Structure 1
Amino acid sequence: MVTDAEIAEYAAFAERLADAATAVTLKYFRNPIDVVNKAAGEAFDPVTAADRDAEAIIRALITETYPDHGIFGEEHGQSTATLKNGPTWVIDPIDGTRAFISGLPLWGTLIALNDGTRPVIGLIDHPATGERFMGTPGQATGNRQPIKTRACTSLASAILSTTDPDLFLAGDERAAYDAVAAKVRLKRYGYDCYAYAMVAAGHLDLVIESGLQPYDVQAVIPVIEAAGGVMTSWSGGPADQGGQVIAAGDRRLHAAALDILRSAAKP
């Protein structure tokens, strides 16, 4: 269990990690960079030196400062402790690499501390826009100012975001997403982790995604929850392992969308 004093210490350290990563990622952003495709076949899952170098500096700082803590990152895997064994830092050095290589500014660095049971600290950092969002138990901030989700009781009033509708699996999964999307007021695409930050800050209402990994979601969960929102799987269970996830600023909106998504929820 992580104590309140440790929360403050680790939150400050998460900001130090984000600062170190920013120094790396901004050096590469909008400059020529080689792109490697990690996916097989016709799929496209890009990675760059910016991803790898930013994660390397984060891991080095964690190992130096908290050698008994675990690390789970997108580019270099898992080391030391496990998520069920003790404090583990869960990191995605660049969430939104497609945006990064396209010169678009809404990619972010995701840093979470999992206490062995669930993520208790989450940081969403957007170096290109100068915005930073933090979630700790009972407190959510954007650039150190309190943030809060907004009330939105119905799908008809909601603004929905997903990274790309084409990423949903054909069949029941895409049909379930489309059924929700058909009921909302406005849809916005392509924002990656920035969409979750905007839900927490009270500008968007709903994010629906699929095919995610733990490092895609663990940093955003504490931010959404501390701001007053809710984030679960499509079946209504924990979202911390990724897969199919839904985040909403209002629990009533979450319930309405979940009723539709449950038809395509995977166990």
Structure 2
Amino acid sequence: MIRQAAEGAGRIALSYFRQAPQVWMKTGNSPVTEADLAADKYLKDMLLTARPDYGWISEETQDERAASPRERFFVVDPIDGTRAFIEGADVWCVSVAVIEDGRPVAGVLDCPARSEIIMATPGGGATQNGAAIHVQAQHLPYKVAGPSAFIKRLPEHFLSSIEHMPYVASLAYRIAMVARGDIAGTFVRPSSHDWDLAAADLILSEAGGRVVAADGKPLTYGLTDTSNGDYRHGALVAASGLLMDNMLDVVAETAFG
């Protein structure tokens, strides 16, 4: 069901792509386009009609999780990588996940401008267009992505072991790149949200990697009891194996803000 929903939203978003869609700026100087809103409406109508007992968490919808706690939530970003979408770059995707008890139990990234559908279920592995994907064996220099301002502050012993890859605005897609072995790992700056991460987290986990907080613990999604209503995540690392350990070490010794 969520694959069909993501594909439908992807077709809607693609119909606006490179067509100069209307753009507005949200609080925090984050852009939203008419394509985001159209895809979000489609997803909400389709998914909640099918599962009216599920909660709803989306970048483009008022957050009501504290007022309406549920056992399961749909977690949606109708266009992850809106800035790239506006610029006409093809690295953006529709991200749809189902979370239960704080963890994703289904995840789909539909990337229509690249004709890619990346998805996973727990224990079912991760796939792209039906073919299994996995993290890759790591060789020096490790291909690592992340915000340039942070990468430049990393200790020299770590910088000498990596190749800094070009930045990809879509966080979900960047994590999927780790899952299929395009890159070995990525740093994630603080302030990411559930909708940026939930689907990609499951995809990477099923591909043999992990997304973890700076303390090495897995993420919890759909929180409803934060003291200040701030559901954003802190600094994160997405990788596998020894590189994961090394990245966590440098996050611990580097001010990541």
From 145, 152, 171, give the equivalent of 1:161. 145
Normalization by structure 2: what TM-score? 0.85
1:27 equivalent to 2:11? Answer no
Provide the residue aligned with 1:227 in structure 2.
Answer: 207
Between the aligned residues of both structures, percent identity stands at 30
Q: Which moved more, 1:140-149 or 1:71-80?
A: 71-80
Amino acid at match of 1:200: A
Contact 1:232-1:246 at 8 Å conserved across structures? yes
1:204-245 deviation digits (Å, cap 9, x = unpaired):
110111121111111111000000011101221223453311
Maintained 8 Å contact 2:9/2:42: yes
Name the amino acid aligned to 1:24: I
Superposed displacement of residue 86, structure 1: 0.7
Q: State how far apart, in whole Å, the 1-side matches of 2:214 and 2:85 are.
A: 28
For structure 2, which runs of at least 5 residues remain unmatched after alignment?
222-232
Secondary structure at 1:109's aligned position in 2? strand
Q: Deviation string for 1:132-176 (max 9, x for gaps)?
A: 1111112110111111111216xx4211112x424x5xxxx9734
2:246 corresponds in structure 1 to 256
- Segment drifting more, 105-114 vs 83-92: 83-92
Q: Would you say the 8 A contact 2:107–2:199 is kept in 1? A: yes
The counterpart of 1:207, out of the listed 161, 186, 191, is 186
Q: Distance in 1 between matches of 2:178 and 2:67?
A: 30
3-state secondary structure, aligned to 2:105: strand
* 1:195 counterpart = 2:174: yes
CA distance in 1, matches of 2:213, 2:246: 14
1:70 alignment partner in structure 2? 55
CA–CA distance in 2 between the matches of 1:73 and 1:265? 30
Cα 1:223–1:28 change in 2 (3 A) is same
Partner Cα distance (1:225, 1:84) in 2: 26
On the 8 A contact 2:13/2:35 being kept in 1, the answer is yes
CA 1:119/1:82 → structure 2, altered by over 3 Å: closer, same or farther? farther
Q: CA deviation at 1:106?
A: 0.5
Q: Which stretch of the first structure deviates more once superposed, 67-76 or 184-193?
A: 184-193
Give the C-alpha shift of residue 195 in structure 1. Answer: 1.8
Give the aligned CA root-mean-square deviation in angstroms.
2.4
- Evaluate the alpha carbon distance shift between residue 112 and residue 256 of structure 1 in structure 2; reply closer, same or farther with a 3 A threshold: same
2:234 alignment counterpart:
243
Using the TM superposition, give the Cα deviation of residue 78 of structure 1 relative to its aligned residue in structure 2, in angstroms.
3.4
Measured in 2, the distance between the counterparts of 1:261 and 1:79 equals 32
Deviates more, 1:97-106 or 1:14-23: 14-23
Quote how far apart the aligned CAs of 1:80 are.
6.7
Q: 1:160 to 1:257 in 2, by over 3 A?
A: same
Contact 1:176/1:260 (<8 A) preserved: yes
Pairing of 1:53-132 with structure 2 (within 5 A): 53-79=38-64, 85-132=70-117
1:244 corresponds to which letter in structure 2? A
Question: 1:146 matched to which residue of 2?
Answer: 132
> Equivalents in 1 of 2:254, 2:68: separation in Å?
27
Q: Secondary structure of the residue that 1:88 maps to in structure 2?
A: strand
Q: Distance in 2 between matches of 1:94 and 1:178?
A: 36
Structure 1 segments unaligned to the other structure (5+ residues): 1-12
Q: What TM-score, normalized by structure 1, do the two folds share?
A: 0.82
What's the secondary structure of 1:247's corresponding residue? strand
Question: Amino acid of the residue matched to residue 189 of structure 1?
Answer: Y
- Kindly tell me: are residues 70 and 61 of structure 1, through their superposed partners in 2, closer, same or farther at Cα, counting changes over 3 Å? same
The Cα shift of 1:39 comes to 3.2
**Kept after mapping to 2: 8 A contact 1:106/1:194:** yes
Residue 37 of structure 1: aligned partner = 25
Aligned residues: 242
